[in-house]
Amino acid sequence: MSKRPKISIELIDRLGPMPCHRGHCVGDCYDFDTQRGELCPMAAHVAFPYIDILRYGGSIPGQPEGTAVFCCPDVETINVFRITRAEA
């Protein structure tokens, strides 16, 4: 049985007029399996379907293989995150 791929989440841009209410900054990176509690719950909620797709071998249309880019749902902040799958 193979191990699950490692999933990392990196904050790559901020588009909104306000700083992140959770304190995230561009460049922050999180290991989904060991640091998910440090990620804003709103961002984690949006990320989960993408993580599930990538972790189990799927891909996101229009995204490079093994990656997904998504935005935080906070309209004042609009943090842009990139999820990357790496084989374990």
Helix, strand, or coil (residue 86): strand
Q: What is the pLDDT of residue 88?
A: 57
Helix, strand, or coil (residue 85): strand
Classify residue 1: in a domain, yes or no: no
* Residue % of the chain over a pLDDT of 90: 91
Per-residue pLDDT reduced to its tens digit, 73-83: 999 999 999 99
pTM: 0.92
Closest CA to 46 of 27, 65, 66, 70: 70
Domain boundaries, position 80: 6-86
Backbone angles phi and psi of 72, in degrees to 5: -65, 145
* Residue % of the chain over a pLDDT of 70: 97
Q: Domains in the chain: how many in total?
A: 1
The beta strand positions in 6-78, using DSSP E, are 6-14, 29-31, 67-71
55 neighbors 31 (Cβ within 8 angstroms): no
